[in-house]
Amino acid sequence: MIRTIGFDADDTLWHNESIFDRAQQRYRQLLARYHPAAEVDRMLFKTEMRNLPLYGYGVKGFMLSTVESAIELTQGAISAQEIREIVALGQEMLAHPVELLPGVAEIVPLLARDYRLLLITKGDLHHQERKIAASSLARHFHAIEILSEKDGATYERVLRRHGVALEEFVMVGNSLKSDILPVLELGGAGVHIPYHITWKHEQMTKLPRAHARFRHVNRLADLPPLLPGL
Amino acid sequence: MIRTIGFDADDTLWHNESIFDRAQQRYRQLLARYHPAAEVDRMLFKTEMRNLPLYGYGVKGFMLSTVESAIELTQGAISAQEIREIVALGQEMLAHPVELLPGVAEIVPLLARDYRLLLITKGDLHHQERKIAASSLARHFHAIEILSEKDGATYERVLRRHGVALEEFVMVGNSLKSDILPVLELGGAGVHIPYHITWKHEQMTKLPRAHARFRHVNRLADLPPLLPGL
């Protein structure tokens, strides 16, 4: 019987990838006179992946990779003023208001009455804390865990810390790779709620095979009736 | 009687500010044909402080501020190649090996036999975790807490989480502002071990007044004999 629900934050409780997406559109426009969009995307993703071990996840690392990638794509021809615009794109992302996804403001408080809620998110500590504060959702959560990576080892550590048994735990999120698979592998339950955009790094071609403790729903409103069956 | 020791990490267990300092020296050299060193420093610090609410602490925020500040200082005259060099300075900082301070490798394991040790650090989650892993010190610590800010509220939360009573707690660190004063104000003990450089943002002109639970030592080796008297 489920007693504890883990919620991912970005693209599960509030919009995130759409903010990256809009920034990347403007980035492509800035570089359009040098390269077609596909080439800009390819180089940026390559730069992001090269820097990921050094930077980790989050907007600041993205910003640094957009600067580096723009210099490389233009072979140094880009002006300092254009680089300043690229930095400003990222600053706007960091200052962007938190926009809750449909149903979150109503359903999270309802679930908090019957279940212990954990917010389990990855990325930049400072930015995640600012978004959590801006969301006004913190008071519904028993604990907030901001991780640098979401894998089996980090989920185990978090669940041990809060004394949560895997048979009583379900993780809810938009990323099969980070939110669902590691938890299913440990023996917990997982409910996938996709967001309309998935960052290439989080994309998975294979869905989990039929699994007694895996569900897929299209909106948060479909979650509460599922819980007793997990 | 002290049972739990909180250790700051940067500039308490390993070198950090000296790495920033060397990077900033090279940054000044890069901009020397535009401005004298003092003006470069002034503008960079101003930019860092303006961006602190958005970026938080850590090298990535520093990198973004060095790029922004260089564009501003040169009124856009800096070349993309020079900006690439500035980004590379920061990448070297992130890749810099962890160098333990004198005595740390011997004294931390000794203290771990008699006390519960907490690592309490602030800054970038990903970079702090990488440094902790590289230090090989993690196994001596009961828990590792990476915070976005070190103030009374965050210390209270950490101590509550680990069931630590203030009368049994001492915090050890190089920053009076972040490591010592908030803990003394809560009623805990504090041992200040200065590092030879202090970031301007962490500088305090006033030392804590005479306080029964405050000590100042010059090196970690002087810590163990003090503990029974706190």
Q: Do A87 and B77 touch (CB under 8 A)?
A: no
How does pLDDT run across B2-46, given as a tens digit for each residue? 999 999 999 999 999 999 999 999 999 999 999 999 999 999 999
The reply to whether A22 touches chain B by the CB within 8 Å rule is no
What is the per-residue pLDDT for A199?
Answer: 83
Q: Which amino acid is at A83?
A: I
What is the per-residue pLDDT for A200?
Answer: 81
Bridging pattern class, strands A169-173 and B116-122: unpaired
Spans of chain B below 50 pLDDT: none
- Collapsing DSSP to helix, strand or coil, A116 comes out as strand
Distance CA A45, CA A62 (A): 10
Q: Which of B27, B219, B80 is nearest to A82 (CA)?
A: B80
What is the per-residue pLDDT for B210?
Answer: 73
Domains of chain B: 4-15+99-229 (3.40.50.1000), 17-95 (1.10.150.240)
How does pLDDT run across A55-101, given as a tens digit for each residue? 999 999 999 999 999 999 999 999 999 999 999 999 999 999 999 99
Q: Which residue has the higher pLDDT, B205 or A139?
A: A139
**Residues 25-84 in B contacting A (C-alpha not used; CB under 8 Å):** 51, 54-58, 60-61, 63-64, 67-68, 70-71, 74, 76-81, 83-84
Task: Supply the DSSP string of B81-145, one letter for each residue.
Answer: HHHHHHHHHHHHHHHPPP-BPTTHHHHHHHHHHHSEEEEEEES-HHHHHHHHHHHT-GGG-SEEE
What is the per-residue pLDDT for B205?
Answer: 63
Please report the number of interchain residue pairs, chain A to chain B, with beta-carbon separation below 8 angstroms: 94
Which of A52, A54, A149 to mutate to probe the B interface, most B CBs <10 Å?
A: A54
Q: Note the ipTM here.
A: 0.92
The reply to whether A212 touches chain B by the CB within 8 Å rule is no
Q: Do B80 and A81 touch (CB under 8 A)?
A: no
The reply to whether B182 touches chain A by the CB within 8 Å rule is no
What is the per-residue pLDDT for A62?
Answer: 98
> Is residue B119 within 8 Å of residue B132, measured between CB atoms?
yes
Which residue from A55, A58, A80 is facing B71, i.e. has the nearest CB? A80
